[in-house]
Amino acid sequence: MVTVEIRPIRLKDLDDVTDIEQRSFPEPWDSDIFDTFACWDGEVPLAEKNLGLMRVATENDRVVGYVVWMIPNDRAKGHIMNIAVREECRRRGIGSLLLRHVFNELAKVDIPICILEVRTSNDAAKHLYEHVGMSLVDRKENYYDDEDADIYSIRF
């Protein structure tokens, strides 16, 4: 039986992460962002004393998914900024595992809420978020260049 491991991103993961990102999003992040996370062992100081974190999910040392989130300096609410799972590995619980990992990490540092934005048309992602207990709380018009974003939240 293959188990999924969650760990900080490493430099050797960059090709896999970039491939997943390019295939998952119409406006993918620049690979330099992932490179920065890898160079900082998955924890990058951000503006205003916020902290960005990145973890990858691996099977047999192959990246099958990843998540990027922010811990704000005021500790009010965590923010998932990016999450993706390799297309052929979807619907196997890897996305749920990554989300629950973030929720646990936020709870460890006494952050009671986590939010994220998702394209209004991304029904598969919204189903995943609802499956792990997140709720639709708002909408941001024109958040993406071509589409609104639904805002999901969970309190723990």
- Which pLDDT belongs to residue 2? 63
pLDDT for the residue numbered 1: 58
User: Distance between CA 8 and CA 102 in Å, rounded?
Assistant: 12
Residues β-bridged to residue 139: 150
Q: Which domain holds residue 117?
A: 5-155
Buried b (16+ CB within 10 A) or exposed e, 2-35: eebebeebbeebbebbbebbeebeeeebeeebbe
Domain count of the fold of the chain: 1
Give the residues across from 59 on adjacent strands. Answer: 62
pLDDT tens by residue, the chain, 156 residues: 569 999 999 999 999 999 999 999 999 999 999 999 999 999 999 999 999 999 999 999 899 999 999 999 999 999 999 999 999 999 999 999 999 999 999 999 999 999 999 999 999 999 999 999 999 999 999 999 889 999 999 999
**What is residue 50's DSSP assignment?**
-
Q: Can you give the pTM of this predicted structure?
A: 0.95
* Positions marked catalytic: 117, 129
Q: Tell me, what's the pLDDT at 146?
A: 87
Residue 108: CATH number of its domain: 3.40.630.30
